[in-house]
Structures are given as structure tokens and as C-alpha cells.
Amino acid sequence: MKMYGNWRSAAAFRVRIALNLKGIAYEEIFLDLDAGDQFKPGFLAINPQGAVPALFDGDGPPLTQSLAILDYLEETQAGVKLLPTEPRARARARSLAQVVACDTHPLYVPRVRTFLSENYSLPRERMLEFLRNAFTSGLKVLETRLSTEEGTGRFCQGDAVSHADLCLVSLWVGTGIFGIETDPYPTVRRIAETVLTLDAVVRAHPLRQPGAPKT
Ligand SMILES: N[C@@H](CCC(=O)N[C@@H](CS)C(=O)NCC(=O)O)C(=O)O
């Protein structure tokens, strides 16, 4: 498979982890989102939204939106299953994944930050305040749910990795990149640290991708 991504992209990170866990060979083409590669006509022809990831599986049209791609991989590929089969457990794993991918991550993507800076002349500190609020709102929900709901186990849903964990770790790594305080979220931390030990996740880690700052 071939994927358009970016080292820092939380959405591309989620998909890289799934590809690695399922043992699918892929090549990633890295766009420079800060330079605006996502808005060049060549890429807009692939994804009119101007966002990564975009995944090509053979000759078919590109697949976009990380959660849709995760579902596609789940439905078409053999290997490790990343959603439980029991309907309630499956719904809970998806619900936790959506807290991150639908309600948290969209608030801090580059196009939102750029829009706010350019249209409201937000000083950098106010912009960081906005970002911090996006992260902490999502982290608070995850912490409350993961620390109180019965379904939580070694991972977000029981003892097997699911889409929820891929999303959780994509948010967690962002806390490091954007300097977000994480002490108030011990359950999120415990699960993220477990997920981060998996080889598939180590290889997919944003800081190990081309273009990432050297640590
Ligand atoms: N909901 C989408 C989000 C895609 C998205 O916004 N990706 C970011 C990187 S994480 C991007 O390419 N942003 C470009 C921009 O905001 O200009 C998904 O989960 O795939």
C-alpha cells in the first residue's frame, strides 16, 4: 500500500500503527504540512480536503479519514483484529476512538490554528491556550471514562489493542509535541505507556519518521 502522511500527523500515526500491527507493507510519502504541500493541486486531486492520511490500496481510489481507513483495514485484511466482536465492547472501543478522532484532534489541526491566527490575530500564547484546552478537554473525558468504566483493562477496551488505543496514543504523543501537562491523567498515561511498548507502535512513532526533529 502507499500512504500520504506527515511525521507529526496524529491521524497518519493511527493508520501507520494499524498497518504495522496487521503486518501490511506500505510506503509513506511525507507531505510538509507547514509548507502547505497539502494544498497543492496534485494532492488536492487525491484528497480535496487537503489533509493526510490518504491511503492507496492497489489501483482503487484513495482512502481518506483515519477512522474510515482503520475500518477498511479491519474489514479487508487478515492479521490482528483491532475491534472486539462483542457489539457493546465494539461500540465502546469506537466511542473512545471518536472522543479523540472526532471531538479532540480536529480542534488542533494546522488549518484551524492557521485560521485562528490569520483571522483573529491571536498572539502565540492565546493560540497555545486554545490548543491546551482542546487537548485537556479530550484527556479529561478519556481519564474519567477509562478510570470508571468496567470495560477498561490493560488497554482501553479489555486486554486487547483496539482502535481506541491507536487514537489514545496519537493524542498522548501530541501532548509531548505541544507541551501539554499530563499529570492529571494517570489512567490515560498507563494505557499510553503500554501501547508505546508495542513494536508496531515504536516503528510508527512520529519522532521516528522522516522530517521529525532529532531528539
Ligand atoms: N479527521 C481526519 C483528520 C485529517 C487531518 O486533519 N489531518 C491533518 C494532520 S493530523 C492534516 O493533514 N492537516 C492539514 C491542515 O490542517 O492543513 C482523520 O482522522 O483522518
Phi first, then psi, for residue 8 (nearest 5°) are -90, -10
CA of 51 to the centre of ligand 1 (A): 4
Q: Ligand 1 pocket check: which of 28, 33, 168, 170 to mutate, most ligand atoms within 8 Å of Cβ?
A: 33
- How far, CA to CA in Å, does 7 sit from each of 41, 89, 90, 165, 213? 21, 31, 29, 19, 9
Q: What is the CATH number of the domain that holds 32?
A: 3.40.30.10
- Ligand 1 atom nearest to CA at 50: 14
- Amino acid of residue 131: L
- pLDDT attached to residue 122: 86
Q: With H, G, I as helix, E, B as strand and everything else as coil, classify residue 158.
A: strand
- pLDDT attached to residue 121: 84
Q: Are residues 108 and 181 in the same domain?
A: yes
- Residue 110 covered by a domain: yes
Domain range for 74 is 2-80
- Ligand 1 atom nearest to CA at 65: 20
pLDDT tens-place string over residues 32-56: 999 999 999 999 999 999 999 999 9
Q: Which three cell numbers stand for residue 208?
A: 521516528
- Residue 38 covered by a domain: yes
Q: Could you tell me if 105 and 168 are in contact, meaning their C-beta atoms sit under 8 angstroms apart?
A: no
Asked whether 51 lines ligand 1 (CB < 6 A), one says: yes
Q: Could you tell me if 3 and 28 are in contact, meaning their C-beta atoms sit under 8 angstroms apart?
A: yes
Name which of 22, 19, 142 is nearest 92 in CA terms.
142
Q: What is the CATH number of the domain that holds 145?
A: 1.20.1050.10
Asked whether 104 lines ligand 1 (CB < 6 A), one says: no
Domain count, the chain: 2
Q: Ligand 1 pocket check: which of 29, 47, 109 to mutate, most ligand atoms within 8 Å of Cβ?
A: 109
- Residue 210 covered by a domain: no
Q: What is the helix (H) or strand (E) element at residue 73, kind and residue range?
A: helix 66-76
Asked whether 65 lines ligand 1 (CB < 6 A), one says: yes
Q: Could you tell me if 66 and 101 are in contact, meaning their C-beta atoms sit under 8 angstroms apart?
A: yes
- Residue 211 covered by a domain: no
With b meaning 16 or more CB within 10 Å and e meaning fewer, what string describes 145-177? bbeeeebbeebbbbebbbbbbbbbbbbbbbbee
- Residue 213 covered by a domain: no
- Residue 146 covered by a domain: yes
End residue of a domain, out of 29, 61, 80: 80
The yes-or-no verdict on residue 214 having pLDDT over 90 is no
- Residue 10 covered by a domain: yes
Q: Which three cell numbers stand for residue 53?
A: 492520511
Q: Are residues 59 and 104 in the same domain?
A: no
114-123, 128-137, 163-172: range with lowest mean pLDDT: 114-123
User: How much is the average pLDDT of 65-71?
Assistant: 98
Q: Are residues 97 and 192 in the same domain?
A: yes
